[in-house]
Chains A and B, each alone.
Chain A
Amino acid sequence: MKFLNTLLILLVSRFTGMAQQADIEMADQFRADGKIYVVIAVVLLILVGIFIYLFNLDKKVTRLEKEVSKNA
């Protein structure tokens, strides 16, 4: 019985703890509207663009390296 009581208290305190947490304002509405996906899409596009640029740069340096080692 004592064990059950402790368990009950633990559970209740856990839920009240969560209820307190829910008061804190987060961007819940923004997420619910689905607008967060727009932000993610924009950032991902920029990221992919940067990566394409980096891969190209890498290729260019490799080409130069080959050319220089041929001439040396």
Chain B
Amino acid sequence: METLKKNYWKIACMLLLIYTIWAGFMGKVPRQAILNETVRNLYFHVTMWFTMIFLLGTSVYHSIQYLRKSDIKSDLISNAYVETGLVFATLGLVTGSLWAKFTWGDWWTNDPKLNSVAIGLLIYLAYGLVRSSMPDEQQKARISNVYNIFAFVIFMILIWILPRMTDSLHPGNGGNPGFSKYDLDSNMRLVFYPAIIAWTLLGYWITNLRIRIKKLAYLISENE
């Protein structure tokens, strides 16, 4: 019973994902030219980015915690969130590329959002470089956590603000759009919002495992 109480969100994550798959394939979607059935990718491709933003954002919170308290555990947590966040970013990029091929006609278009993401990923690549090139534990933690905060802010500006200032193939970009402009009807919302929660929980769970393994490795290296 105790374990069930502690793990209820994992079961919720599983049930929500099962619902996402079921309703994602069976649910009603608007009939639109070019998009056709691929509009269902909304539940799988777009949710990857939402999960990534959640994970990277949480990592910034822990980076700030590290800088405030200099507790190495916060550094481990922040690092784990970035790592899983980048897994979801890669998934989002690859699935987006596939979707683009069949709707926009090319694997990679010069869409501002795509180029922004490419720059953003390079910024995070440098984060990994910073971490792996510093032998001193404290120095590595301090510099990479400061870097992480700036990286997140720049990344968010790159993917949320800059694409809106120009024309973009992505829906809801270019000009000043609201969510209602997404070709999202109420049937799709019923799947889309639970799908965001489901994928985010999955990302959180995987990160959680990673953090615990990192902490174990840290404890073992301490005791040696």
A residues in contact (CB < 8 Å) with B: 21-22, 24-27, 36, 39-40, 43-44, 47-48, 51, 54-55, 57-58, 61, 64-65, 68, 71-72
Contacts and interface: CB of A to CB of B under 8 A. Distances in A.
A61 to B, nearest CB: 5
Contacts of B33: 24
Contact of B21 (A21, A47, A68): A47
Nearest to A27: B37
A22 B22 contact: no
Given A22-B31, A65-B216, A68-B220, A39 B17 contact: no
Given A22-B31, A27-B37, A64-B216, A55 B209 contact: no
B22 A44 contact: yes
Contact of A57 (B21, B26, B209, B216): B209
Interface in B90-135: none
Contacts of B22: 40, 44
Contacts of A65: 212, 216
Contact of A24 (B32, B212, B219): B32
Contacts of A54: 10, 205-206, 209
Which of under 10, 10 to 19, 20 to 34, or 35 or more describes the interface residues of B?
Answer: 20 to 34
Given A26-B31, A47-B17, A68-B220, A40 B25 contact: yes
B213 A24 contact: no
Contacts, number: 56
B21 A24 contact: no
A43 B21 contact: yes
Contacts of A43: 21, 25
Query: Which label, helix, strand, loop or mixed, suits the secondary structure of the B interface?
Result: helix
A66 to B, nearest CB: 11
Given A24-B32, A27-B37, A72 B209 contact: no
Given A27-B37, A54-B205, A72-B219, A61 B212 contact: yes
Contacts of B159: none
Nearest to A71: B223
B18 interface: yes
Contacts of A25: 36
B14 interface: yes
Given A21-B31, A55-B10, A72 B21 contact: no
B10 A24 contact: no
A20 B18 CA distance: 33
Contacts of B32: 24
B205 A72 contact: no
Given A24-B33, A26-B31, A71-B223, A61 B18 contact: no
Contacts of B219: 68, 72
